[in-house]
Amino acid sequence: MSQVILPKFQNFLALASLALSHACSNSATPDPDATMKGTRPSDSSGQIAGVQLSFASESAAGLKLSSASIDLGNALILTDVRINIGKIKIKPAASEDENEKSLKESMASRKKELERSHEFEKAKGEADIKSLEEEYKNLFTSANSEIEKADLRRLYELEKTKHEQAIAQAQKQAEEDLDTLEAEQDPDLRWKGPYVLDLVSGSVSPELPATQIFDGSYHRLQFQLKPNRTADDSLLNKSILIKGTTNWNGSISPFVFTLAESAEFQVISKDGYSLPADTDNRLLVMFQPKLWFDQVNLSQASQDSSGVILIDSEHNKDLYLMIRAQIKASTRAGHDRDGDGQLKSSELDGETKDDVGSAEDAES
């Protein structure tokens, strides 16, 4: 699991912008132990702090040409940027206790059991996609025009989605069983997801419900990205999807970046972040797409047979690793004191660390 130590809980580790609004109730209920779920901080008064989790994007991350694209400069335009958010936990302790470690081991073991039970369906779906790729590769090669290639790619994507849906269905059931079991055993799991963050439109779907926690100091926020199992388009089975166009050796080329594995990160506040019951606290965490592609030369990438630059764990892997690392390293966080959904320089309290590890290291 990736980990970063923060001076005041201001650096969030994630892969556009996450705003954590602690919309606290003015009529806090004292000592709600009998009905309240969640670990109670040692300095809690026993009152309730309302928490609303919401998302926003940083306006300075790029120049928005329209509601349908973001211009990052250097002929790099993003037309689709979506992140699939999974479970989120809020923990008072800065480090895992024995109960957490035991639960993690139990969940890992159960996950392997569930994955084995659906292994055949997943393997068959992946084999079918490989066969489909080979079939269309030959068709792309023999295509007589770019229009014909575009038509073939649309047909390919439609057929591929059918096989992706079979994989998603098998994985979805296993993951739902695991999430249900974890929710029953971990009182600090607040949001299960999935929630889709769309950076181009600046929206989140569905909206996250409000929750309540004990007031007091919290040292750790755990956040998971996980493959989407319900989408009806190319986000299916992806944690992150980025589509756009770039200048590739003198011509405009489409590109697609995808992260397909789960990744869990934890942000640790060394001194703790206080959530009083009678104050409206907003923590804002921002992804900066412009920095994701800093020093990334897409003209060095190879295209597939249809003329698309694919960037994933199997295609253009060097670029994939570089972009993935910069998604993590460029995230910024701070206290949005004026509640405008942006972080000014005076509200930034630090930067994320570089030693955040890889998605595989944090896989869950």
Cβ–Cβ under 8 Å, residues 51 and 212: yes
Please report how many Cα atoms fall inside a 13 Å half-sphere around the Cα of residue 338, on the Cβ side. 8
Average pLDDT per 10 consecutive residues for the chain, totaling 364 residues? 43 41 39 62 90 66 61 89 89 85 84 73 82 85 84 86 82 80 84 87 84 85 86 91 92 94 76 76 75 90 92 95 86 65 61 38 39
Measured over the CA atoms of residue 58, residue 62, residue 67 and residue 68, the dihedral's sign is negative
The confidence score (pLDDT) of residue 145 equals 85
Give strand pairing partners of 242. 81, 257
- Cis-peptide into 194, omega within 30 deg: yes
125-145 b/e (C-beta count within 10 Å ≥ 16 → b):
beebbeeeeeebeebbeebee
The confidence score (pLDDT) of residue 312 equals 96
- Between CA 230 and CA 301 the distance in angstroms is 30
**Domain positions in the chain:** 2-351
Beta-sheet pairing, 63-66 with 216-225: unpaired
Q: Is 343 helix (H, G, I), strand (E, B) or coil?
A: coil
The confidence score (pLDDT) of residue 361 equals 40
Residue 185 carries which side chain, given as an amino acid letter? Q
Give strand pairing partners of 204. 197
- Between CA 307 and CA 141 the distance in angstroms is 10
pTM for the structure as a whole: 0.77
